[in-house]
């Protein structure tokens, strides 16, 4: 089944916007058993075909490996310049590889490039061991992170996606899109994912990008391919145009060409049919509120944070309706909701921006109230 136009916005009332009038992909267009198109900016699902089916993801598994390595780098746990020594376990990995030798030393950055560009299983395992201490400990971290992300259809047995012996290693198109969205929050990683050709060992080892869209698709930002006999041909393709970024995941295609064609059709449809709008309340219309029996008589509400909304192309610009309380009783606690900004598109409410108190305001003490009362005489 497919869903087009389901909009999920954090901290906002999620309502469907009018369906676009442009041609869109359908299940027949996408020649793969499982696929999804998701907005990286809002998390909105724009198209799905068996998106929650559990399937072998092959090397698209490495999205989670990339995420954990990126998080370790951004928190300072490891550095790109750190030296990693190849283990016997890492060197033994088959499939795509850089022929890492036992005892050979490479930097985290070199290994990360090998993973992102060339999908090297030995480099992937070496990074996993370096980050978590062992391959098994890293896999546990992968599954823990999957739970944190609320993934219902994902379980990992290894960091590479090799599935010749794995019995309980699976994910879904939707779950992989969620992981990809997290990876893209570390946007520096796309500088590796968009490299077509690179090398290691002073040019002796070539790195060829397995994602051919890197060389052909306008706005491509990544992200990961995967292929095994069990999984078929898989792909997570991401692209950005006009400030809007989309994630297309295709699993189980029969040929490599089909996965790239399906992802291209999904991305093209998304860019043709949708636009990203920033919702921004007017600070001048977030008016003051009178506080009864408070140590302060006036509350200045906090202006709602800007949010992003995915809209059908051809729809009008959003309009705003401001509804704030005129008075509140003390005490007032910070982040207490004191109003709402309704967002309308073509006359239909599509979102609500909550308005909160920005400060604490305590209640006036009884003695202060009594003195104030006496002063009225």
Structure tokens at 45: 């699902």
pLDDT digits (tens, 9 = 90+) for 270-281: 999 999 999 999
pLDDT at 100 over 50: yes
pLDDT at 333 over 50: yes
The residue among 213, 216, 18, 81 whose CA lies nearest residue 224 is: 213
User: Can you name the CATH fold of 281-367?
Assistant: Peptidoglycan synthesis regulatory factor (PBP3), Domain 2 (2.60.410)
pLDDT at 372: 54
pLDDT at 163: 95
Q: How far is CA 50 from CA 34, 35, 54, 249, 251, in A?
A: 5, 7, 9, 11, 10
pLDDT at 15: 36
**Tokens 């992968």 identify what position?**
142
pLDDT at 9 over 70: no
Higher-confidence residue: 232 or 165? 232
How far apart CA 209 and CA 115 sit, in angstroms, is: 10
Q: Which residues contact 288 (CB under 8 A, 6 or more apart)?
A: 298, 299, 300, 301
CB neighbour class for 222 (10 Å; exposed up to 12, middle 13-18, buried from 19): buried
Residues involved in catalysis = 59, 62, 119
Q: Is the dihedral of CA 98, 101, 105, 108 positive or negative?
A: positive
| For range 304-312, the mean pLDDT | 93
Query: What residue segments make up the domains of the chain, in order of their start?
Result: 34-276, 281-367
> What rounded mean pLDDT belongs to the chain?
92
pTM for the whole thing?
0.88
**At the top level of CATH, which class does the domain 34-276 belong to?**
alpha beta
């Amino acid at each position: 089944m497919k869903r087009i136009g389901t909009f999920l916005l954090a901290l906002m009332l999620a309502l469907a916007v009018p369906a676009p009038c442009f041609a869109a992909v359908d299940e027949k267009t996408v020649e793969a058993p499982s696929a999804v198109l998701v907005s990286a900016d809002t998390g909105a699902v724009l198209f799905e075909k068996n998106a929650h089916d559990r399937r072998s993801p092959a090397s698209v598994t490495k999205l989670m490996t990339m995420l954990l390595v990126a998080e370790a780098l951004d928190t300072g746990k490891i550095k790109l310049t750190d030296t990693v020594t190849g283990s016997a376990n890492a060197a033994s990995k088959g499939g795509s590889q850089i022929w890492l030798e036992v005892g050979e030393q490479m930097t985290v950055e070199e290994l990360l490039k090998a993973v992102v560009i060339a999908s090297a299983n030995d480099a992937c395992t070496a990074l996993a061991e370096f980050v978590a201490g062992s391959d098994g400990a890293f896999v546990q971290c992968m599954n823990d992170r999957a739970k944190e992300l609320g993934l219902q259809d994902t379980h990992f047995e290894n960091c590479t996606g090799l599935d010749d012996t794995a019995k309980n290693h699976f994910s879904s198109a939707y779950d992989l899109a969620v992981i990809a969205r997290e990876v893209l929050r570390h946007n520096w990683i796309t500088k590796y994912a968009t490299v077509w050709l690179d090398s290691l060992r002073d040019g002796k080892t070539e790195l060829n990008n397995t994602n051919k869209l890197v060389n052909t698709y306008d706005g491509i930002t990544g992200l990961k391919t995967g292929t095994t006999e069990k999984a078929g041909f898989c792909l997570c393709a991401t692209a950005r145009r006009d400030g809007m970024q989309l994630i297309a995941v295709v699993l189980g295609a029969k040929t490599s060409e089909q996965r790239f064609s399906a992802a291209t059709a999904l991305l093209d449809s998304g860019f043709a049919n949708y636009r990203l709008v920033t919702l921004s309340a007017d600070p001048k219309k977030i008016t003051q509120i009178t506080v009864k029996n408070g140590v302060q008589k006036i509350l200045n509400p906090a202006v709602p944070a800007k949010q992003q909304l995915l809209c059908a192309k051809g729809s009008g610009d959003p309009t705003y309706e401001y509804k704030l309380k005129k008075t509140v009783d003390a005490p007032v606690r910070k982040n207490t909701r004191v109003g709402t900004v309704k967002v309308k598109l073509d006359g239909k409410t599509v979102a609500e921006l909550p308005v909160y108190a920005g400060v604490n305001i305590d209640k006036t003490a009884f003695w202060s109230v009594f003195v104030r009362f006496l002063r009225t005489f």
